[in-house]
């Protein structure tokens, strides 16, 4: 059972018990027809697809939690005066290349996020000027 279903010993024992298996000494036995009936019952019950779907949901939740935990470890080091930043005071790394095209130079993911914080703070601090500068309005 362990090799056939790729499960560990304890799970194999549970499967044998569910299939009306029994223990003789240290060995677990199950009659062939009982095992066939058990497996056919599983197939018709829809338990296997449900178990696979549950396993997928758990794996997705774990991946999402791991991604969130990794993101929470990131520290964005923005300029200390970022919340006083005005559109005209943006660093050279944030450049208006042409109307509708902005270029941000950065040295890594954290630096990119810091530059985006600078840009957002400048917009929040003086949106009319920000709009004029980046939309080309007078």
Measure CA of the first residue to CA of the last residue in the chain; give whole Å: 77
Residue 42 CB neighbour total at 10 angstroms = 15
pTM of this prediction?
0.52
49-75 pLDDT, tens digit per residue, is 888 999 999 999 999 999 999 888 888
The answer, yes or no, to whether residue 138 has pLDDT greater than 80, is no
Report, as an integer, the average pLDDT of 33-43: 90
Give yes or no for residue 93 having a pLDDT over 60.
Answer: yes
Task: Judge whether residue 137 has pLDDT over 90.
Answer: no
Res 10 pLDDT > 60: yes
């Amino acid at each position: 059972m362990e090799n056939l279903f790729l499960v560990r010993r304890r799970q194999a024992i549970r499967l044998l018990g569910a299939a009306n298996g029994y223990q003789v000494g240290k060995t677990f036995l199950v009659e062939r027809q009982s095992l066939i009936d058990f497996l056919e019952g599983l197939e018709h019950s829809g338990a296997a697809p449900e178990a696979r779907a549950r396993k997928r949901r758990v794996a997705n939740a774990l991946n999402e939690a791991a991604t969130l935990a990794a993101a929470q470890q990131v520290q964005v080091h923005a300029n200390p005066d970022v919340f006083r930043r005005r559109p005209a005071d943006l660093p050279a790394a944030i450049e208006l290349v042409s109307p509708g095209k902005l270029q941000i130079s950065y040295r890594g993911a954290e630096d990119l996020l810091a530059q985006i914080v600078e840009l957002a703070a400048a917009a929040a601090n003086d949106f009319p000027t920000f709009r004029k500068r980046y939309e080309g309005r007078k």
